[in-house]
């Protein structure tokens, strides 16, 4: 059996896939041999017959080599490139033609990061999740205190850099798998610690809320898949309570501070026509701009500059783009983003191992939530807040963070049929799954 498996796996060019395939082959042959032994055959004869029935190891190895090899997701790469170029065109009306060289360099750097992460084995997050968390924390602390510029008491780059905690949290969740209720409590504690660190680094409540929501959803999904063992109902109750705590805090804060600035901003959003001379003036301006937007073709920047949102145009790139070029072009841009979301969601759905599922889901949720939130804020469908739209927000930090997330998605897809569920995800792959096609020939 050992010689058969060795000969077979030598035909597979992807070294990473050999161990997992060898284990599944050994399991299948052992099961077949045990069945023959129960029928009265001796052990050596049973193993020999089971191996003989497998067929030619070279032919099987060549067939498996075509299946178990790294695969590139060219659709995702093409969509990323098209959206990156579209993002530059969206920024030109706001920042002028001089933004082109800077953004081209940023785009090249982002694609270099995407390729570097793409060729990296994402399973390293499952082995060094806690270590990566500590290293990232040190990096952010050094960046905030010694490198990144501070504006009005805040470090703008931190609003997006803290999202790197999310895929790292996926690795920590993986390390906590199959350890029962206490592991769920530990995951919730890590979420709380992350929120504290993110608040100290960025103080951007939008980013903190988004991260909290994403991490709670990830923990709930892990519980639903049984990653922490039995008692899923009890574990889901713990996650639900943790998810509702911020809502309770917000309700109490609103009741105790009805006249606070934040509460007034929410009231202005809900009834902007009544507050249009106060906090609602920005919402009135957005509605006026949308009313002047045509289906095809559009207006000019001079019209936009007469409104008080001029200082916020950089945070409302979708609104500016739609006004200048029309709703049709805006729909095309949204369509491209929807294709990207759909492709990313397909990567998440296709994962059979736990780590690949967690990492891909973490990246998808960050990209999806920020895109949806950014567009809704830009069109006054959500209260005005700081957003970081993928491809449409200027800044090296923003481009590189989303490059890491897209690179991780591509890496998960690349090794989807290479890294087996048993070794990297804690799920035992169904026996014979790889061999059925060969045996029926």
Can you tell me which residue has the tokens 């998808």?
Answer: 364
- Quote the Cα angle for 16-18-23, to 5°: 125
CB 232 within 8 A of CB 224: yes
* pLDDT over 90 at 99, yes or no: no
List the chain domain ranges: 2-69+425-439, 73-119+292-415, 124-256
Residues whose CB falls within 8 Å of the CB of residue 16, separated by 6 or more in sequence, listed in order: 121, 415, 418, 419
pLDDT at 415: 80
pLDDT at 13: 63
Stronger pLDDT, 15 or 423, i.e. the higher one: 15
What is the rounded radius of gyration, in angstroms, for the C-alpha atoms of the chain?
26
Digit-coded pLDDT (tens) for 47-85: 788 877 777 777 777 777 666 666 778 889 999 999 999
Burial of 128 (0-12, 13-18, 19+ CB in 10 A): middle
- Percent of the chain at pLDDT > 90 equals 29
* pLDDT over 90 at 212, yes or no: yes
Digit-coded pLDDT (tens) for 136-154: 999 999 988 888 877 776 7
Dihedral sign, CA of 325, 329, 331, 336?
A: negative
CB 365 within 8 A of CB 217: yes
Residues whose CB falls within 8 Å of the CB of residue 243, separated by 6 or more in sequence, listed in order: 213, 216, 220
CB-CB neighbours of 63 under 10 Å: 20
Stronger pLDDT, 122 or 313, i.e. the higher one: 122
- Please tell me whether residue 43 adopts helix, strand or coil conformation: helix
- pTM attached to this predicted model: 0.80
Digit-coded pLDDT (tens) for 15-44: 666 666 777 778 778 887 888 778 778 877
Nearest to 415, CA basis, from 402, 424, 406 = 424
Distance CA(86)–CA(91), nearest Å, equals 9
pLDDT at 384: 78
Digit-coded pLDDT (tens) for 392-413: 888 888 899 999 999 999 999 8
pLDDT at 240: 92
Digit-coded pLDDT (tens) for 334-382: 999 999 999 999 999 988 888 989 999 999 999 999 999 888 888 888 8
């Amino acid at each position: 059996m050992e010689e058969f498996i060795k000969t077979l796996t030598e035909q597979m060019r992807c070294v990473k896939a050999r161990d997992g395939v060898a284990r599944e082959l050994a399991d299948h042959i052992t099961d077949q041999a045990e069945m023959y032994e129960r029928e009265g055959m001796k052990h050596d004869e049973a193993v020999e017959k089971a191996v003989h029935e497998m067929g030619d190891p070279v032919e099987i190895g060549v067939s498996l080599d075509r299946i178990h090899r790294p695969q590139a997701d060219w659709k995702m790469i093409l969509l990323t490139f098209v959206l990156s170029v579209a993002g530059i065109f969206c920024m030109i009306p706001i920042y002028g033609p001089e933004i082109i060289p800077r953004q081209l360099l940023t785009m090249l750097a982002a694609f270099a990061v995407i390729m570097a992460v793409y060729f990296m084995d994402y399973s390293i997050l499952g082995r060094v999740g806690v270590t990566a968390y500590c290293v990232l924390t040190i990096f952010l602390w050094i960046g905030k205190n010694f490198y990144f510029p501070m504006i009005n008491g805040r470090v703008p780059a931190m609003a997006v850099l803290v999202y790197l905690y999310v895929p790292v949290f996926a690795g920590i969740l993986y390390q906590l798998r199959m350890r029962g209720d206490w592991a769920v409590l530990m995951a919730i504690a890590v979420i709380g610690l992350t929120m504290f660190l993110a608040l100290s680094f960025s103080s951007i409540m939008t980013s903190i809320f988004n991260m909290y929501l994403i991490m709670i959803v990830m923990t709930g999904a892990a519980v639903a898949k049984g990653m922490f063992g039995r008692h899923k109902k009890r574990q889901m109750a713990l996650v639900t309570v943790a998810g509702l705590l911020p809502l309770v805090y917000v309700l109490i804060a609103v009741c105790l501070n009805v006249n606070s600035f934040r509460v007034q901003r929410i009231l202005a959003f809900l009834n902007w026509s009544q507050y249009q001379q106060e906090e609602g003036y920005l919402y009135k301006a957005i509605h006026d701009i949308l009313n002047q937007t045509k289906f095809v073709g559009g207006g000019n920047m001079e019209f936009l500059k007469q409104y008080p949102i001029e200082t916020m145009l950089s945070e409302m790139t979708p609104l500016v783009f739609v006004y200048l070029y029309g709703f049709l072009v805006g729909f095309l841009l949204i369509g491209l983003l929807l294709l990207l979301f759909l492709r990313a969601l397909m990567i998440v759905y296709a994962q059979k191992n736990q780590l690949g599922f967690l990492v891909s889901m973490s990246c998808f949720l960050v990209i999806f939530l920020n895109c949806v939130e950014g567009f809704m804020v830009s069109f006054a469908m959500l209260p005005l807040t700081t957003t970081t739209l993928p491809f449409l927000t200027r800044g090296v930090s923003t481009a590189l963070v989303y490059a890491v997330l897209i690179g991780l998605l591509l890496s998960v897809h690349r090794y989807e049929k290479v890294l087996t569920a048993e070794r990297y995800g804690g799920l035992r792959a169904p026996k014979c799954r790889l061999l059925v096609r060969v045996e029926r020939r």
